[in-house]
Chain A
Amino acid sequence: MRKFTALIVAFFIIAPLGILFYKNSSLKLSLLPHKVDDTWNLHISVKPKDPTETSVSFPLPRQGEGIRVSDERIKSKGFETIIDRNDDSVMMTWMSNEPIEKKVSYSARIDIIPLKIENLKKDFTTEYPRGMTRYLKIPELSEEDDEGLKLLEQAIYEGNEDKTLIARKAFYYVSEEIQRNFKYRTLGDALNIGRGTPLVKARMFAYMMRRKNIPTRILVISKLPEKDEKSDGRLFFTFINEIFLNNRWIPVNTNLGTFGELSDGFLVFHRHYEEIEPMISKKKLVYNIKVNRAVLNKFNREDFRKEVIKKSAFFGSISLHRMPLPVQTVFSTILLIPLGALVLCVARNLLGVPTFGMFTPILLTVFFKETSLFFGLSFFLVVVLIGIAERYLLDKFRLLAIPRMSIILTLVIILLMVVAITGVAEFFGSSHIGYFPIVIVTVFIERFSIMLTEDGMLNTMKTLLGTLVIAVLTFLIYSIEAIEMLVFTNPELLFVVVAFLILIGKYKGYRLSELIRFRNLVMQMKSKK
């Protein structure tokens, strides 16, 4: 190989890898976005305990920081449903004219991202907006409990602390000194015996905070099953707190002992238990909450985007992750084209696989990606059958070539209509069908049917198989999400693809198909010698 070519190839391989290395080690930018570990399918069913009740209410997870809710489905046939949404929580009420006998249900998909708040600064706030008043209200306490709290405060506070430090001190006390025990259900138990249910601990912490003028609320949450934990997926309510420091809500878990963080193992149902306490008590209703893990290992593009922009102005400005979502979607499809071209070149020039046209396999792969592999293949094969049938039938009409191709195009559109009307596409897993693949398929059909008459069924089928194999192979490679993400995140890798294409372009050796084609010749020539 000439020096110049070798130089260019080397440059195209080393330079992008160098950029990758720089990004990874110096900028500490990860090669791929991180994975979102947990997506859950949630199902709630509720029924009032009193059989004459005509309405029932329940809290639902609310979309917000750390939680994404999608695919909500509410069973509400025969019911009037009211959704009460405020800044922090959602309450759903089912109402009917008759007593509610059957359970009502709700299901959704939940994505949870862990929350961690770092660098908690000192807080000297004294005034709070009116909306905070309910988080500062302390209920009537018995004299004993009031005394007990006073003593406690004298013991742990020095009197000069800022609010953050006060919160921490109270937190340490409640989480370390009060043992969790489901038998002891009153504040008195906690103060005097040092034991209490999670709710009692949460209340105690809340009152302590409010007495120091720190807005605090009690959250209704559920602990989600661990990865290897064997459970039936049933969830039960437990309680933690949130305190308002430096203008934001900080989660505090006195049961687990975490301050300022909430792992993705918890699902928040409501952020102000005191408001809904009477509605969801066990006396009022019977509930069943179930979860199971849904999709695992999804890439978290959103956070990665922020990471890229934060860590480097240059790479942030040129990153594809910055593009609006529709543009990103388009790119994540078309970035497979260079990859497909590479597979195609290897298949044609190194192996000798025959294909229809030069780029038909790649375009087929795009078609498969836009719909689904199963649907794409089935649709394609049906179109092939139409093409074969058409060739034999339309021959009798003796049409000019272009109108004939137009008839095929129309037939393909009709086929698509049939697919849409019968809803078969949904069954196959595709959500929409792109425009241009249809044209590709038509052009392909004409070449296909000519080859059929000129070269016979066997050769045509071989070429068809070659085309399909390459298309499917490229599709499978690209479906490895890591590969798509890698190229999308680091598009300089395309130059590496170019380098390999140059190398293949220079290759003068035999193709695999030739080794097969000439093997008889080789045998005969060798035997002559």
Chain B
Amino acid sequence: MKKLGILGINNRIGRYILPLNKRKNYPLVDNKVKTALRAQAWGIAMPENYLVIENNGDLKNLASQLSQQKSFVVKPANGSQGNGILVIIEVIRDANDKLVFKRSNGRIMSLGDIKHHISGILSGLYSLSGSNDIAIIQQKIEIHPVFEDYCFGGIPDVRVIVINGFPVMSMVRLPTRSSDGKANLHQGAIGAGIRINDGTTQNAVIKNRVVFEHPDTHKDIRGLVIPDWREVLDLSARCFDMVELGYIGVDIVITPHDGPILLELNARPGLAIQIANQAGLLPRLEKISHQAPRGLNARERVDYSIANF
């Protein structure tokens, strides 16, 4: 396996994450509120945060605040792997003039259900450390038309692994019915590797199995071109400068009108990206560590990546 260049967890942590990622910068990445503040300072676009809820008392006026939105997403600030995320695609007033909320899977939730979910987030049910957390009510991004035939029940996101500011590998995660509309590989979403030099998909897998077409839409997944690819890479490279972590996973979502925006950052990106690309990370990591020139700015680093991967 080592000859094929596949990266294992122990190696990832020992040789790359521990040396490259300074622990003190982790909160910038683990806590979405902090990431949002940083991104604002650096001029990097992220989904708009409508509301930040820090304690149960803030829930009193939730109804009036939510009624102003047509759709939104509820997220734990310190969550991981998509846990605790609630996507509301429609805010409706029912026959009794009560606010109800339609989820991406079609189910209806009441205001009480939403409040209950949020207080669960606040108690730390979904947070990485298990301690109290903050809930974020965020703008729901619409799906880019290019992806409509490739997704079921939710929007896709593009993950780029960035080493010392150089994008080295990428994949797009396409939601399916079995993943319940979430772009979560563990739950059954498609992982399609994207070639760095031209932004087209080549291989696709669902949980380690190679697939060629989407199980729900039956569209052939190979050959899909990611719109605004260069901008995606530039954005991911700039994230390195923003948080100063040498090994990160950048999750980007492509909006219909505003191009790619940053969704979230990951200090411990998973290794399934290798399976989605049918290639090992090691050779690319080694290349960056030993051969890539130092002191380049974001654009120059992207040029290097395009030329080499």
Contact = CB atoms under 8 A, between A and B. Distances in A.
B11 A509 contact: yes
B8 A524 contact: no
Given A401-B119, A450-B126, A525-B278, A518 B1 contact: yes
A508 B15 contact: yes
Interface in A199-240: none
Interface string B256-280: 0000000000000001001100111
A520 B4 CA distance: 13
Contact of B275 (A454, A456, A509, A518): A518
A349 interface: yes
Interface in A513-529: 514-515, 517-518, 520-522, 524-526, 528
A507 to B, nearest CB: 6
B251 to A, nearest CB: 18
A170 B256 CA distance: 114
16 contacts: A349-B10, A398-B112, A398-B116, A401-B119, A450-B83, A455-B186, A507-B10, A507-B14, A508-B14, A510-B1, A510-B6, A510-B10, A514-B271, A518-B1, A518-B275, A520-B209
B120 A401 contact: yes
Contacts of A521: 6, 208, 274-275, 278
A507 B9 CA distance: 10
Given A400-B119, A450-B83, A510-B2, 8 more contacts: A349-B10, A398-B113, A507-B10, A508-B8, A508-B11, A511-B10, A514-B271, A518-B6
A400 B274 contact: no
Interface of A: 349, 352, 398, 400-402, 446-447, 450, 454-456, 459, 506-511, 514-515, 517-518, 520-522, 524-526, 528
Contact of B8 (A398, A402, A511): A511
A139 B126 CA distance: 91
Contacts of A528: 278
Nearest to B116: A398
A398 B118 CA distance: 12
A459 B120 CA distance: 22
A520 B208 contact: yes
Contacts of B112: 398
B197 interface: no
A508 B9 CA distance: 8
B21 to A, nearest CB: 16
Interface of B: 1-2, 4, 6, 8-11, 14-15, 56, 83, 112-113, 116, 119-120, 123-126, 130, 186-187, 208-210, 271, 274-275, 278-280
Contacts of B116: 398
Contact of B14 (A506, A517, A520, A524): A506
B10 A508 contact: yes
Contacts of B125: 401, 446, 450
A318 B266 CA distance: 49
Contacts of B9: 352, 511, 514
The 3 A-B pairs with the shortest beta carbon distances in the complex, nearest first, are A401-B123, A510-B8, A508-B14
Contacts of B275: 518, 520-521
Nearest to B188: A456
Given A455-B186, A521-B278, A522-B1, A400 B10 contact: no
B135 to A, nearest CB: 13
A402 B11 CA distance: 38
A268 B278 CA distance: 80
Contacts of B279: 525
Nearest to A520: B208
Kindly name the residue among A456, A459, A514, A528 whose own CB sees the greatest number of chain B CB atoms within 10 A: A514
Nearest to A399: B116
B14 A518 contact: no
Contacts of B83: 450, 454
B238 to A, nearest CB: 30
B60 to A, nearest CB: 15
A525 B4 CA distance: 8
Nearest to A447: B130
A17 B161 CA distance: 46
A155 to B, nearest CB: 87
B208 A522 contact: no
A352 B8 CA distance: 11
Contacts of B10: 349, 507-511
Contacts of A401: 119-120, 123-125
A400 B56 CA distance: 10
A519 B58 CA distance: 50
Contacts of A446: 125
Nearest to B279: A525
Contacts of A455: 186-187
Nearest to B130: A447
A459 B207 CA distance: 13
Contacts of B278: 521, 524-525, 528
A524 B186 CA distance: 21
A91 to B, nearest CB: 66
Contacts of A526: 4
Contacts of B2: 510
Contacts of A400: 56, 119, 123
Nearest to B277: A521
A521 B208 CA distance: 7
A511 B11 CA distance: 10
A524 B1 contact: no
Contacts of A508: 8, 10-11, 14-15
A355 to B, nearest CB: 14
B301 to A, nearest CB: 26
A383 to B, nearest CB: 19
A459 to B, nearest CB: 8
A9 to B, nearest CB: 16
Contacts of A506: 14
